[in-house]
C-alpha cells in the first residue's frame, strides 16, 4: 500500500531491538510507522542522515507500507526547508 503524507514531520524514537532486528518508530499526526534495520548502526545512520531533515523541517513524502504500518520505502517528494531569510525574519519577529 502506498500513501502520500503532506506535512510529515515525525518524532523518531531511538532504535530498540525486537526479534533480531532494530526498530525505529516514526510518530506523526497521520499515524505511527515502523522502520526495521539489521543493525543499530544502520538505524542510527537513517535517523541522523535521511530522516534528520524531516524531523526538523517536515515535508511531503510517499510511504510504501506493509502490514502493521511497516515502512518498506520512503520517498521525499518535497522538503519544507525555509530559506535563511525566512528563518531570520521569524527569529527577529518573535
Question: What pLDDT, on a 0 to 100 scale, did the predictor assign at position 4?
Answer: 94
Element (H, E) at 50: helix 50-56
Average pLDDT over residues 3-20: 91
pLDDT tops 80 at residue 50: no
**Domain 2-93: CATH class, spelled out:** mainly beta
The predicted structure's pLDDT at residue 52: 84
pTM of structure: 0.78
53 confidence band (pLDDT: 50, 70, 90): confident
Q: In this predicted structure, what is the pLDDT of residue 94?
A: 61
| b (16+ CB within 10 A) / e for 38-75 | eeeeebeebbeeebeebeeebbebebebeeeeebeebe
Amino acid at each position: 500500500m502506498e500513501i502520500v503524507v503532506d506535512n510529515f514531520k515525525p518524532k523518531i524514537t531511538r532504535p530498540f531491538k525486537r526479534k533480531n532486528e532494530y526498530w525505529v518508530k516514526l510518530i506523526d499526526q497521520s499515524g505511527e510507522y515502523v522502520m526495521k534495520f539489521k543493525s543499530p548502526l544502520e538505524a542510527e545512520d537513517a535517523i541522523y542522515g535521511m530522516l534528520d531533515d524531516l524531523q526538523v523541517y517536515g515535508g511531503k513524502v510517499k510511504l510504501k507500507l506493509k502490514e502493521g504500518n511497516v515502512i518498506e520505502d520512503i520517498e521525499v517528494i518535497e522538503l519544507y526547508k525555509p530559506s535563511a531569510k525566512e528563518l531570520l525574519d521569524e527569529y527577529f519577529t518573535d
